[in-house]
Amino acid sequence: MPVIEIAGKQINVNDEGFLTVYDEWDEEIAKTLATQIEVEMTPAHWEIIKFLREDFKTQGETATSRRVQTVGGVPVKTQFELFPKKPAKKMAYIAGLPKPKGCV
Amino acid sequence: MRKLLILGGGTAGTMVATKLRRNLKKEDWSITIVDRDTEHIYQPGLLFLPFGGYEPEQITKDRRKYLPAGVDFVMADIDKVEPEANQVLLTDGRVLPYDYLVMASGTTPRPDQTPGMDDPKTWYKSVFDFYTLAGSKALRGALKDFKGGRLVIHITEMPIKCPVAPLEFAFLADAYFEDKGMRDKVEIIYVTPLEGAFTKPVCSKQLGFMLVDRKITLEPDFVIEHIDPDTKTMVSMDEREIPFDLLVTVPLNMGADFVGRSGMGDDLNYVPVDKETFLSKKYKNVFAVGDGSDIPASKAGSVAHFAIDLFSENFVEYVEGRPMKHNFDGHANCFIESGHGKGLLIDFNYTTEPLKGKFPLPWIGPMPLLAESRLNHMGKLAFRWIYWNMLMKGRWIPIPALMSMAGKIKAPITEKVEEHASH
């Protein structure tokens, strides 16, 4: 697995660039990751990212779009507006979490 | 006398009843199975029925015929489970107490969960599912009468029952219209919320090529918001529009409503369990097997079969207070119909994606993995007999429950990539 440097820190990522170590993430890194995929972070974006981080701690897996809607309270439609085209993947990427499952 | 209660008499519930009746002494254990009806459907057959491959009576049987002696069948709707009180309430007022509960209540297509999908103006007129007997039968007429236009095949959201079935439907539709001499009048579009044709990367590439070869257009990353029945258009969350003349959709799949009512499910009513033993994460005398659990494996009969081979050994250990020794690896083994009497076979588990090789005997086969052949198609057809006569009756089948890497090729399809790149 590759190690890259983001915001001056050495970070472990997988082949697709998703962080692989939960505790290596911080908000500076999130901002850099967001810039890389052309997402400009607003309070609405941060709210979702923080939900994903907290939810992962208790569930041990990345919340799906559906769960961000039903538990996190952000409609899927809004997720598409904030993270265009591939919200589930982009949200997980910025939050430093694995891609959500549902792909089996 | 200890009581084992099984909820659901489909593929998984029937296999559990058959295996455990053999493993648990009749003088020590009663086994009761609950289902709302007596119709056991051979679900892989639902794919062939619309194309005239099977008749409904070949794929439906009375489920009581497949339950062994010494298993009580209760026909009723389930109101809810009260896991703290170790009992199940039926809607007719009866109460079934248990010492151990096995939930095998499956997953069901829910067109009501997408706005406009089950609108009476279009439902079973130009919009169909095919994972139900009613849908599959109705679709048969619609395909027969189809004069040409846009045929859209669509998946609402993962996970779904038999994740390869919509692709098979696309391949079979291509062959069907070609055989009718009207393929040039039918535009086929495959619409998926995934990034590609399938979930696993190697397989997704291979199947993606097969779509290209058949001139089937792939529309990935499409998350449906609603269907407009007046204009016959699907609209996505990011406002892409796909018009259709005939829509074959896989609606949102959900576990049984009583699971949700009982507070025992996740946000899609699937029961959270340990993925290696199927023991509930919350209740120490509750298991969930088959499509109704939340294990990250395909919702498919082959997975249930391999899982229950191990579960039925584990259960005996567990109720006697010993550790469960058999850990499930997520093994799945699926035939994929590709049309014109050919098929592929894929074999994979939680950690290893489908690879090329030979099956079931390493290097010998005779069936090739992740490649088209007539033999794989014959295997799929033979499987209906195997299902009714061996699988449901708990007879031995020469396929190991855990996946084997023997004879598989790890870097599988680069040559295919190059071949296609040079087209």
Residue B105 scores a pLDDT above 80 = yes
Chain B CB within 8 Å of residue A101 CB: yes
Q: Check B199 against A104: CB less than 8 A apart.
A: yes
Instruction: Enumerate the residues of chain A whose CB falls inside 8 A of the CB of residue B267.
Output: 66-67, 70-71
Mean pLDDT of B273-277: 97
* Percent residues over pLDDT 90 in chain B: 77
Kindly indicate the confidence band of residue B399, based on its pLDDT and cuts at 50, 70 and 90.
confident
Instruction: Inform me whether the C-beta atom of residue B199 falls under 8 Å from chain A C-beta atoms.
Output: yes
- C-beta separation of B204 from B164 below 8 A: no
Kindly list the strands in the beta sheet with B233-236, ordered across the sheet, starting from the edge strand earlier in the chain.
Answer: B224-228, B233-236, B241-243
By CB neighbour count within 10 A (0-12 exposed, 13-18 middle, 19+ buried), where does B164 fall? buried
- DSSP E strand stretches across B49-118: 60-62, 71-75, 78-82, 87-90, 95-97, 100-103, 107-109
What is the least distance, in Å, from the CA of B309 to any CA of chain A?
A: 21
Tell me the ipTM for this assembly.
0.85
Architecture of the CATH domain B113-253: 3-Layer(bba) Sandwich (3.50)
* Mean pLDDT of the B213-224 span: 95
Interface A–B counts its CB contacts (< 8 A) at 37
Indicate whether B414 pLDDT > 70. no
Phi-psi label, residue B58: left if phi above 0, alpha if psi -120 to 50, beta otherwise:
alpha
Nearest to A67 among B158, B199, B267 (CB): B267
**Is the pLDDT score of B241 beyond 60?**
yes
Give the C-alpha distances (Å, rounded to integers) separating B82 from B87, B96, B135, B273: 5, 10, 34, 17
Domain B2-109+254-319 is found in CATH 3.50.50.60 = yes
At residue B412, does pLDDT exceed 50? no
Does residue B343 contact residue B359 with C-beta atoms inside 8 Å?
no
Of residues B157, B159, B238, nearest to A80 (C-beta) = B238
Examine the residue annotation and report whether A103 is marked as an active-site residue of this protein: yes
Q: What confidence score (pLDDT) does residue B172 get?
A: 97
Q: Is B410 helix (H, G, I), strand (E, B) or coil?
A: coil
Kind and range of the H or E run holding B253 = strand B253-255
Question: What is the pTM for the complete model shown?
Answer: 0.91
CA dist., res. A95 & res. A53, Å (int):
6
Cβ contact (<8 Å) for B267 and A66?
Answer: yes
What is chain B's mean pLDDT, rounded? Answer: 92
B242 interfacial to chain A (CB closer than 8 Å): no
The rounded distance, in Å, linking the Cα atoms of B361 and B228 is 50
The token duo for B149 is: 């236009």
Domain boundaries, chain A: 3-94
Beta carbons of B157 and A104 less than 8 Å apart: no
Name residue B318's amino acid: Y
Rounded mean pLDDT, B407-411:
72
> pLDDT by residue (tens digit) across A35-91?
999 999 999 999 999 999 999 999 888 999 999 999 999 999 999 999 999 999 999
Length of chain B, in residues? 423
Segment B113-129 shows an average pLDDT of 98
pLDDT given for residue B419 in this prediction: 35
Q: Say which of A3, A23, A58, A103 is annotated catalytic.
A: A103
What mean pLDDT do residues B65-85 have? 97
Nearest CA in chain B to A61: B296
Residue type, B243: P
Extended strands (E) in chain A:
3-6, 9-12
Cα–Cα dist B116/B394, whole Å: 43
Instruction: Give the pLDDT confidence score for residue A84 in this predicted structure.
Output: 94
In chain B, the residue whose alpha carbon lies closest to the alpha carbon of A84 is B238
Q: Which H/E stretch holds residue B380?
A: helix B374-386
Cis peptide, bond prior to residue B360, ω within 30 of zero:
yes
Contact B171, B210 (CB under 8 A): yes
Single out the residue of B16, B80, B354 nearest to residue B201, CA to CA.
B354
User: What is the predicted pLDDT for the residue at A102?
Assistant: 56
Q: Which of A77, A91, A99, A104 is the best residue to mutate to test the B interface, defined by the most B CB atoms within 10 Å of its own CB?
A: A104
Cα B270 to Cα B288: distance, rounded to the nearest angstrom:
9
What's the start-to-end Cα distance of chain B, in Å? 69
pLDDT at B249 exceeding the cut of 70: yes
CA distances in angstroms from A61 to A1, A57, B305, listed in the order given:
20, 8, 26
Rounded to an integer, what distance in angstroms lies between the CA atom of residue B2 and that of residue B26?
A: 10
How confident is residue B28, by pLDDT bands cut at 50, 70 and 90? very high
Question: Can you tell me the mean pLDDT for A1-29?
Answer: 91
The pLDDT tens digits for B136-158 are 999 999 999 999 999 999 999 99
- Residue B404 has a pLDDT of 85
Question: How far does the CA of residue A18 sit from the closest CA of chain B (Å)?
Answer: 16
Q: Domain ranges in chain B?
A: 2-109+254-319, 113-253, 332-421
More confident residue, B395 or B284: B284
Q: Please report, for residues A64, B158, B251, the alpha-carbon distance to residue B235 in angstroms, rounded to integers and kept in the order given.
A: 20, 18, 14
Whether B196 and chain A come into contact, CB under 8 Å, resolves to: no
Name the one residue in this structure whose structure tokens are 């269907």.
Answer: B227
| Inter-CA distances, B39 with A25, A67, B417, Å | 52, 34, 45
Looking at residue B411, its pLDDT comes to 54
The whole-angstrom separation of Cα B243 and Cα B148 is 14
pLDDT-derived band at B401 (thresholds 50, 70, 90) equals confident
Evaluate whether B2-109+254-319 and B113-253 have a shared fold. yes
Chain A residue numbers touching B238 (CB-CB < 8 A) = 80, 84-85
Judged by a CB distance cut-off of 8 A, whether residue A65 touches chain B is: yes
Residue B378 or B289, more confident? B289
For Cα atoms B139, B42, B301, give the angle at the middle one, nearest 5 degrees.
115
Burial class (CB in 10 A: 0-12, 13-18, 19+), B27: exposed
Cβ neighbours of A86 in B, within 8 Å: 195, 221
| Distance (Å, whole) CA B348 – CA B334 | 9
- Residue B22 pLDDT grade (very low, low, confident, very high; cuts 50, 70, 90): very high
Tens of pLDDT along B168-205?
999 999 999 999 999 999 999 999 999 888 877 778 88
Residue B271, CA distances (Å) to B96, B139, B159, B252, B256 in order? 20, 32, 14, 17, 10
Residue in A77, A80, A102 closest to B158 by CB: A102
